[in-house]
Structure 1
């Protein structure tokens, strides 16, 4: 079994990656920005099924500083670099999102190379693939790259430029270090703590009635547990070296379709879920006065369908049905009474 570092283990995807690694018998290290979060992290992992005495070491390291990274990767066979600035409801500048994402990737890659790590798996996003393009009738694939000059939001720009920087580093300075990337669509699934993906916020807003009308856009969705599974496959399979992998469970869904699934599966507990769709023009107008809608403006009216055929074919990845994931997401949010994370640079994807 391997010694594996997971950056940002307190985040939504990171915590499930830690659980998947422990379940597979690996020894795990994970980084947080402050050890004050260690007790919270361990409690989250135990809620997810980890044993109290699981082989897990929690270390401090910050993506914006060099300190701690050499120690974190020393002796590791592989690194899952999950930590990154996350999408928030408040406006963020390009620089505030792009710089820590890109510089953080390069810090982790340099430390991994110098420590003799075999492979790094980088958590990228569909945001590095599907944005800034004209409308199209075919699904996005790993050959596509987001057009950063098309006026996209800072989050998508940061994911694109960080992944570009990673591939450039491997090509010019990697010295044998292998890289694979996982590019998830909207990440859903059970919640272990308060740090979770923006896609979960969409479900939460529909459940609590703060989204009285469905927004008109279509996206793929994927279960966080399947995202973690794909990270492990990308870490261990020889075929994954040098490859990008889109993580999506099936065809894209319009928000109104997600709402319909919630109403069918949850019954009366989904009474506040919207039954009607907001016109695109109205949503665009509303986004001018509601900052939480701004990151979604580029999506309005669009269908960002993508395919995971490559991950299924090369790595035998088999995600669970999206309807089950949506229902389990809602059940988890209702049970946890979860709240959206505050604005800031969270160590999630």
Structure 2
């Protein structure tokens, strides 16, 4: 420094964003999951809520980075914290200050576990750990719990001995008749309703339960849902043959919207909501939809061969995925979705569009390779711009 000049020290501080605590805070558990990411995205887009999501580890860039990038310019930036379903204490800070909790996180086994308790205990205990923290929080007004049609109809199998396979929110799966996963969802949901019912008045909060079917629809991170594996396999050329499987489906975008509406509407308190768009959409039909759109783009045709049930049984002996679906082969169940449409105002997405949207998202996110002929989704032509000549 030249002589005669005085040294000036400038303190530089980084301003932290001002948090408006009057804006309701929503906790979304299992933030990196398929349904949860869509729910978080819709909440952030609305700009009506502050959103906190839970992950098992903040050190997992694979899970955290895509969440940060969902809506990078959100009015209220996404907050993330660590919580584990099996760690009761981790949920105390997670729910602190939250007005609403969307408990979406749930363990889903890749196959039929050797010991049913391996899937039942985490589901039940995890649910109760979250609800216990909500009861102690002093701030949580309502919890929306993600259950499943597994807790309504034993999944796609149906109740044993029941001739009328039409199901509504009044139906409950008999746990003793269910496979381990369906039993875990049933027992976890039952435990949630019992927990809230038995709370002392000063600790009570409201409970709403979502019972979605198999969830499909576009992925918005590389963490695709387990059920999306059906579509991914078909598009990847890994399904030369199909079984007679009738799927009950719903679009993930509708599921996310349903959670938010159920959180907001006072009249939803204390109710279950079956989330279904199509009760009997066959796996073969799904393959036909994929083939029509993607075979011209260089992808291998799927599901050209019908697999006999006895062959499926043999495969199920050593294939975990087939062992999961085998009991549902040939079954046809119908689900009443009037409550979803009339009370939540959800008009379900078209099933074929849902499948095609899913396929394009899988390719664009690199989960299925692009072929040389791949051209991507064709943009919609506005009605007034169509050439009618």
Same-fold call, TM cutoff 0.5: yes
Whole-Å separation in 2 of the counterparts to 1:41 and 1:304: 38
Whole-Å separation in 1 of the counterparts to 2:200 and 2:31: 25
Q: Which residue of 2 aligns with 1:168?
A: 194
Whole-Å separation in 2 of the counterparts to 1:87 and 1:9: 18
Q: Which residue of 1 aligns with 2:73?
A: 51
1:198 counterpart SS class: coil
**Are the aligned partners of 1:251 and 1:306 in contact in 2 as well (CA < 8 Å)?**
yes
Whole-Å separation in 2 of the counterparts to 1:268 and 1:209: 14
Answer yes or no: is 1:139 the counterpart of 2:166: yes
The alpha carbon displacement at 1:282 in A equals 1.6
Q: Which residue of 2 aligns with 1:336?
A: 365
Whole-Å separation in 1 of the counterparts to 2:336 and 2:320: 31
Whole-Å separation in 1 of the counterparts to 2:165 and 2:112: 32
Whole-Å separation in 2 of the counterparts to 1:226 and 1:32: 23
**Are the aligned partners of 1:178 and 1:241 in contact in 2 as well (CA < 8 Å)?**
yes
1:75 counterpart SS class: coil
Q: Which residue of 2 aligns with 1:253?
A: 281
Of residues 323, 326, 331 in structure 2, which corresponds to 1:302? Answer: 331
Whole-Å separation in 2 of the counterparts to 1:38 and 1:9: 13
Answer yes or no: is 1:193 the counterpart of 2:225: no
Q: TM-score, normalised by structure 1?
A: 0.90
The alpha carbon displacement at 1:336 in A equals 2.2
Q: Give the 3 Å change call, closer, same or farther, for CA 126–174 of structure 1 in structure 2.
A: farther
Answer yes or no: is 1:288 the counterpart of 2:310: no
**Are the aligned partners of 1:92 and 1:154 in contact in 2 as well (CA < 8 Å)?**
no
Whole-Å separation in 2 of the counterparts to 1:174 and 1:45: 38
Structure ID, larger Rg:
2
The alpha carbon displacement at 1:241 in A equals 0.4
Q: Give the 3 Å change call, closer, same or farther, for CA 81–23 of structure 1 in structure 2.
A: same
Q: Which residue of 1 aligns with 2:19?
A: none
The alignment of Structure 1 onto Structure 2 pairs a total of residues equal to 337
Greater Cα offset, 128-137 or 303-312: 128-137
Greater Cα offset, 224-233 or 259-268: 259-268
Answer yes or no: is 1:263 the counterpart of 2:263: no
Answer yes or no: is 1:158 the counterpart of 2:219: no
The alpha carbon displacement at 1:271 in A equals 2.7
Q: Which residue of 1 aligns with 2:205?
A: 177
* Structure 1 stretches lacking a partner, 5+ long: 340-349
Q: Give the 3 Å change call, closer, same or farther, for CA 138–324 of structure 1 in structure 2.
A: same
The alpha carbon displacement at 1:19 in A equals 0.9
Q: CA RMSD in A?
A: 2.0
Greater RCO structure (CA 8 Å; 6+ sep): 1
Whole-Å separation in 2 of the counterparts to 1:239 and 1:277: 46
Deviation track 1:295-317 (CA, whole Å, cap 9, x = no partner) reads 11221111233232111111212
Q: Which residue of 2 aligns with 1:347?
A: none
Q: Which residue of 2 aligns with 1:79?
A: 101
1:273 counterpart SS class: coil
Whole-Å separation in 1 of the counterparts to 2:181 and 2:101: 23
Q: Give the 3 Å change call, closer, same or farther, for CA 92–198 of structure 1 in structure 2.
A: farther
2:318 counterpart SS class: coil
1:149 counterpart SS class: helix
Q: Give the 3 Å change call, closer, same or farther, for CA 305–92 of structure 1 in structure 2.
A: farther
**Are the aligned partners of 1:217 and 1:301 in contact in 2 as well (CA < 8 Å)?**
yes
The alpha carbon displacement at 1:207 in A equals 1.5
Deviation track 1:54-108 (CA, whole Å, cap 9, x = no partner) reads 4211101111012221111111110000111113146353111111111111111
